[in-house]
Amino acid sequence: MSSLYDRTIITGGNGMLAKALIRALRQRGVEPIALDRAALDITNIDAVLDVAQERLPTLVINCAAYTKVDQCEQESDLAERININGTANLAAAAKASRVKLVHFSTDFVFNGRSTRPYLPTDPTDPLSAYGRSKLGGEVAVREILRDQGLVIRTAWLYGPGGASFPKTMLDVARAGKPLRVVNDQIGSPTYTDDLAAATLDLLDRNAQGIVHVTNAGQTSWFDFAKAIFEEFDLHPDLQPITSDDWKRMRPQSAIRPAYSVLDLSSFESITGRSMRHWREALRDFHHAA
């Protein structure tokens, strides 16, 4: 019997999240078709349609994205080409192939002025070029695919096999350099393996629309850094700074939301389970690192 996962295409196939999804699918006995940028440029509509015709996917999971938040400020055209046009191309191919597309978005679609965790239905108001480009990708999926699309908003993603905040912190600490980390931005660190498992749980239940998925709990970047060093038994020179301090030090950097915790009730109601706390996930990252 044919399965949703039989011929799963994963774009951005060399990325941190893609690798976690590959591991999760292999645990189910599925060997996905992972396509990196060299194998598929999602900004080329002809290439995207050709791959869909050749590979006949049963599912498309988009992990291809321009995610360098600060660089997006200087390269907003490139960010839009990848995060909006590329996503629209994949949505068009999924529609033509009559298969579901999973697309990952971000907490940065919100302005950070909320006093409670953000619901999927809350108004969006991105503060950065990155946030605007990711919101554009969401809109493309919604307009092109309707109920064939699943948009998963996540936040503060990290895991083995890629660039991430924990890796940066560990590299700097091990190099003996001082660390100044922002203490007035609040969010939820999310472990790639947990997000991958949650994605498959949502697909098992034919989820659609926009769903929020992060690890449970919330913290600041500074307290996240403290937890990382505690987990890895490192004792660097770590001091808190404000977002304004950081902006003065790096005036070209993107503005980030002060509070971007995502409400997980959409995920919980669909799957019937909760996400584990971010601190517990960090322990697994340590063992995997």
User: What crossing angle do the helices spanning 192-204 and 16-27 adopt, rounded to 10°?
Assistant: 50
Give per-residue pLDDT as tens, 195-225. 999 999 999 999 999 999 999 999 999 999 9
Give per-residue pLDDT as tens, 232-275. 999 999 999 999 999 998 888 999 999 999 999 999 999 999 99
Three-state SS for the chain is: CCCCCCCEEEECCCCHHHHHHHHHHHHCCCCCEEECCCCCCCCCHHHHHHHHHHHCCCEEEECCCCCCHHHHHHCHHHHHHHHHHHHHHHHHHHHHHCCEEEEEEEHHHCCCCCCCCECCCCCCCCCCHHHHHHHHHHHHHHHHHHHHEEEEEECCEECCCCCCHHHHHHHHHHCCCCEEEECCCEECCEEHHHHHHHHHHHHHCCCCEEEECCCECCEEHHHHHHHHHHHHCCCCCEEEECHHHHHHHCCCCCCCCCECCECCHHHHHHHCCCCCEHHHHHHHHHHHC
Give per-residue pLDDT as tens, 155-177. 999 999 888 999 999 999 999 99
pLDDT at position 1 is 40
Query: pTM higher than 0.85, yes or no?
Result: yes
The question of whether 158 is a catalytic residue gets the answer: no
Residue with tokens 């991105």: 126
Give per-residue pLDDT as tens, 90-139. 999 999 999 999 999 999 999 999 999 999 999 999 999 999 999 999 99
CA quadruple 157, 160, 161, 163: dihedral sign = positive
Give strand pairing partners of 62. Answer: 11, 103
The domain segmentation of the chain, as residue ranges, is 8-220+252-288
- Report the distance separating Cα 278 and Cα 275, nearest Å: 9
* pLDDT band (50, 70, 90) for residue 288: confident
The residue from 5, 66, 118, 130 that is catalytic is 130
CATH class entry, domain 8-220+252-288: alpha beta
Q: Are 267 and 199 in contact (CB under 8 A)?
A: no
Give per-residue pLDDT as tens, 36-79. 999 999 999 999 999 999 999 999 999 999 999 999 999 999 99
Apex CA 112: angle with CA 110 and CA 114, to 5°? Answer: 100
